[in-house]
Amino acid sequence: MATLKEIADLASVSVATASRALNGSAVGHPVSEAVQARVRSAAAQLGYTPSAPARALRARRTSIVGVITSDILDPYFGELARSIEIEAGRLGFVTIVANTDRDPGQERLKFELLREHRAAGIVFCGSDIDGAPGTARLAREVDAAVAQGTRVVALAPRHFAADRIVVDNVAAGGRLTEHLLDLGHRDIAFIGDLPGLASIGLRIDGYTAAITAAGGAPRVLGRGGLTQESGRSAMGELLAGSRLPDAVVCANDEVAVGVVAGLWNAGLHAPETLSVAGIGGTRVGEQFGLTTMSLELGELGMVAARYITSVEGAPPSAPGVRLVVRSSTRAWAPRR
């Protein structure tokens, strides 16, 4: 690959001039039109591409953003990673993604790798699992890195002390439940959980508070996971049992789609059989008319990208949650 020196030689100028000609260079150091042209043409001729590593070394900073995610295939994280990448790209940054499968060991490893690459900032997308082996150690290392100047932002509750941009999970669970209550539903179950995951715990808290305030008894099912599969199997168990709830609030959209699939597989339909609602606002449920509490992930990712690539400033607040009513919940009916 051609270097600046080769360009300079070909254009018969010094490397300094070549650099200035190509970069517009600092004030006080103009380059004559003629030389500009010579340098540009030399660069084009040799197919010159500046070396980011060399620049990084010289400038002591890179234009790399790191994104640590549990699984890019989960639409929640996919949506986040995507909007971060797009906005970061607009700002001249490239994005390194890391799938960690929620394994603290993997997270540590990828975090360290990102630090080696001198990422300008690192975004943790999901929350960690309380009590999981390795969570504490990861937290210690992140804390140490932050103390050393590594920029870190978390988009969910985390056990380390870094900047946070976190949506209001309690409100998401609460307001969605209230909406279902307003529709006249009384027997509302919550489906999906991953014990120890703070973000889901908070959604359950919001649900529980709303149910309790309405004089009902909260019921949480399907604590085995947050996937479509777990949603479908939870629905299967529900259908096999005796008492079917009026409506279900799902821990996330994936679980909700799984619930819809469970109904579909049984030849049933929402909202006739029961109302179904998700949390997240990802596009997975769109075509099935899934009512959901949007967490405005596109906006969140944008905000996060802007913050992590900026040098100064306090972390912005997360966008508010927004109820998206579609057809998987029944239309309004007077309270019975």
Minimum distance of a second copy from residue 88's CB (angstroms): 10
Only segment of 44-52, 158-166, 170-178, 197-205 that touches a second copy (CB under 8 A): 44-52
Alpha carbon distance 150, 139 (integer Å): 14
Cα three-residue angle 94-100-105, rounded to 5 degrees: 120
CA dist 324 → 23, 71, 163, 279 (Å) = 47, 25, 29, 10
| 95 touches, from DNA, a second copy, none (C-beta below 5 to 8 Å by class) | a second copy
Alpha-carbon distance of 247 to 258, in angstroms, equals 15
Write the binding mask 230 to 249 for a second copy: x where contact by CB under 8 A, - elsewhere. Answer: -xx-----------------
Burial class for 105, CB neighbours closer than 10 Å (0-12, 13-18, 19+): middle
Q: Which residues bind DNA (CB under 7 A)?
A: 1, 3-5, 12-17, 19-20, 22-23, 25-26, 28-32, 34-35, 48, 50-51, 54-55, 57-60
Q: How many CB atoms lie within 10 A of CB 303?
A: 22
Token pair of 217 as six digits: 């008894």
What one-character-per-residue DSSP string does 138-149 give?
HHHHHHHHHHTT
The DSSP code for 75 is: H
Selected binder of a second copy within 72, 146, 171, 209 (CB under 8 A)? 72
30, 89, 195, 320: residue in contact with a second copy (rule CB under 8 A): 89
Residues near a second copy, by CB under 8 A: 1-2, 47, 49-54, 56-57, 62, 64, 71-73, 75, 78-79, 81-82, 85-86, 89, 94-99, 110, 112-118, 144-145, 148-149, 228-229, 231-232, 257-258, 260-262, 264-265, 267, 269, 283-284, 286-289, 327
